[in-house]
Amino acid sequence: MKLGRVAICLCAGIVALIALMPPSASAQESPEYRNRVETVRRTPGFVALWDFVKRKDGRFAAYQAKGDRHDFTLDAMNYVQAYWNAGRPATYDDFPLLGRGPFGQAIRIRRETDDNLRPMLLVPRERLQDSGLDVKGPGKSVSVVVWLIRESGNHAIAGIWDEGTDLQEANSGVKRVVRGKRQYALFAGLAANDGCVAAHLSENGAGSFGDKYARNLAVTPEVIPTVPADSTPEVLDRSWSTVGFTFNNKEHTLTAYLNGKASEMWVENPEEDPFFRWVAKGWVQANLHKIPGLQPGEDPAFPADQYYEPPEVRPLSRTLVSDNEVERVEILTFPFTKVRVTLRKHSSRSLDVVKRELIGLRVNPFWFGHNLYTPATPEQGGPFTIGRVVHTSRAVGFTGYIGGVAVFARALTAAEMARLAELARLPLEFPGQPPNSEEQPDSQHTAR
């Protein structure tokens, strides 16, 4: 009888002990969760992964490269409040959790109706300066991969891309004026191809090709699928996309990917394109400058470091357009450009080039002939942000769910990008906090 009572007491104690365990303790060692995280971490060049499961001091924390001691935890910031002194500070409450995702969790970037509320998550510049996340300078390459569900919008998704507040046409009430501090980032198309995957790079933190905005951009021809804001869990589960880009500094190529695929894209008649006309301007000015003397249409004040000069040594193909006694017209296709060339004939049978016209521009991959912007101090660089970037228009931008953000300090291969895209095929339920990670978020953490 005493033995029976001891057994009953022992069982009751075990039940009480189990009840005191963290709610998701049994899932913390989820083999599938661990396998997915390690798939990212084992990819050569790995810098950081935010999966919105791992936490530190209540904030979203990153898995980081071995030996890296930088603090990549994410703060919440309402950039309207920070730069216009309007609205309230942002908190983690502004990023509702889905409870599912490629790694088991996702944050929601909402279509905010308050014009003075534009919350984003960020690693402040002072915490990332000269870290592995701060990819910049000669010879440096970078890749970014994001797992997401898109509801709407075409603006920023993730990266180091502070557009500044010095473009004040529509928002002259800005209280804190700063110049742009752009390095690299993923967008959802912008005006180049609304809703597609767009990869942005900057060599100077500011504008390109004589424009006030940055214009070095690779875009996919396909757009990121969208779902309604009121979609059911079943619809969301089958709606994950993987977006990303690779920048190969050695080859000067910037390539955008959607779901592990980098489809080639050309823009015809780029001088008429609302976005790429600035790239075309850089090409035109570079060509005019090579001709002795000031040419019609040449801008002598155009900055030489903004010429667009992709390789045009040997054409990949040559198409005859017309040929008569006076002139010959050909279309030459180079790796990144298509050029209509008009040649004038002479009695000596020699040919002179009298006109070169840019009629096609390859924008995936896109040729980028620079190194990434290299801020020497924290004050000269921007933060790494997720969900939004600081920009003067204060538009809502991208809306939807983000279930993971990864950065690599090298250009990933096509096979590696495809492998990472596979992680979005079957979402996981929230696995609980990984070991050494706190269980509950602190909704009051804001940018410091």
Q: What is the pLDDT of residues 20-39, one digit of tens each?
A: 333 333 344 589 999 999 99
- 327-333 sheet: strands from edge to edge: 265-268, 351-364, 337-345, 327-333, 317-323
* Protein fold of 27-264+366-429: Jelly Rolls (2.60.120)
Average pLDDT in the 142-164 region?
Answer: 97
Q: Which of 63-67, 279-283, 365-369, 424-428 has the lowest mean pLDDT?
A: 424-428
pLDDT surpassing 90 at residue 169: no
Residue 314: which region, alpha, beta or left (left: phi > 0; alpha: psi -120 to 50)? beta
Q: What is the pLDDT of residue 350?
A: 87
Q: What is the pLDDT of residue 23?
A: 32
pLDDT in tens, 342-400: 999 987 778 999 999 999 999 999 999 999 999 999 999 999 999 999 998 899 999 99
- With beta carbons less than 8 A apart as the criterion, state whether 147 and 242 touch: yes
Judged by DSSP in three states, 237 sits in helix
- With beta carbons less than 8 A apart as the criterion, state whether 74 and 51 touch: no
- With beta carbons less than 8 A apart as the criterion, state whether 214 and 274 touch: no
Q: How many Cα atoms are found within 13 Å in the side-chain-facing hemisphere of 321?
A: 12
CB neighbour class for 252 (10 Å; exposed up to 12, middle 13-18, buried from 19): middle
pLDDT in tens, 185-205: 999 999 999 999 999 999 999
Strand partners, 77: 120
Return the residue matching tokens 């000069």.
309
Is the sign of the CA dihedral 386, 388, 389, 390 positive or negative?
negative
- 85 phi/psi in degrees, rounded to 5: 60, 40
pLDDT in tens, 197-227: 999 999 999 999 999 999 999 999 999 999 9
pLDDT in tens, 1-13: 444 444 444 444 4
Beta-strand relationship, 241-248 and 142-152 = antiparallel
pLDDT surpassing 90 at residue 168: no
SS3 track for 93-156 = HHCCECCEECCCCCEEECCCCCCCCCEEEEECHHHHCCCCCCCCECCCCEEEEEEEEEEECCCE
Report the distance separating Cα 51 and Cα 59, nearest Å. Answer: 12
Amino acid residing at 438: E
Whole-angstrom Cα Rg for the chain: 26
C-beta atoms surrounding 352 within 10 Å: 10
Residue 402: which of 424, 434, 429 has the closest Cα?
424
pLDDT band at 15; cut points 50, 70, 90? very low
pLDDT in tens, 392-431: 889 999 999 999 999 999 999 999 999 999 999 889 998 7
pLDDT band at 435; cut points 50, 70, 90? low
What is the distance, to the nearest Å, from the Cα of residue 218 to the centroid of all Cα atoms in its chain? 11
H-helix segments, 192-265: 233-237
C-beta atoms surrounding 239 within 10 Å: 19
The chain-wide mean pLDDT, for the chain, equals 90
Name the token pair of 254.
Answer: 């910037």
- With beta carbons less than 8 A apart as the criterion, state whether 73 and 124 touch: no
Report the distance separating Cα 351 and Cα 270, nearest Å. Answer: 27
Q: What is the pLDDT of residue 6?
A: 40
User: Could you tell me which residues come within 8 angstroms of residue 138 by beta carbon, excluding any fewer than 6 positions away?
Assistant: 371
Single pTM value for the model: 0.90
For the chain, first and last CA: distance in Å? 63
pLDDT surpassing 70 at residue 269: yes
- Kindly state the DSSP code that residue 326 receives in the 8-state scheme: S
Name the token pair of 104.
Answer: 């088991």
- The residue with greater pLDDT, 3 or 434, is 434
Cα–Cα distances (Å) from 89 to 108, 112, 385, 398, in that order, read 18, 14, 16, 20
pLDDT band at 437; cut points 50, 70, 90? low
- Kindly state the DSSP code that residue 21 receives in the 8-state scheme: S
Return the residue matching tokens 């757009």.
223
pLDDT in tens, 84-134: 999 999 999 999 999 999 999 999 999 999 999 999 999 999 999 999 999
Q: What is the pLDDT of residue 434?
A: 67
pLDDT in tens, 127-144: 999 999 999 999 999 999
Q: What is the pLDDT of residue 4?
A: 46
Domains of the chain, by residue range, sit at 27-264+366-429, 277-363
Residue 159: which region, alpha, beta or left (left: phi > 0; alpha: psi -120 to 50)? left
Judged by DSSP in three states, 372 sits in strand
Average pLDDT in the 71-81 region?
Answer: 98
Report the distance separating Cα 138 and Cα 128, nearest Å. Answer: 19
Strand partners, 107: 97, 402
Q: What is the pLDDT of residue 11?
A: 42
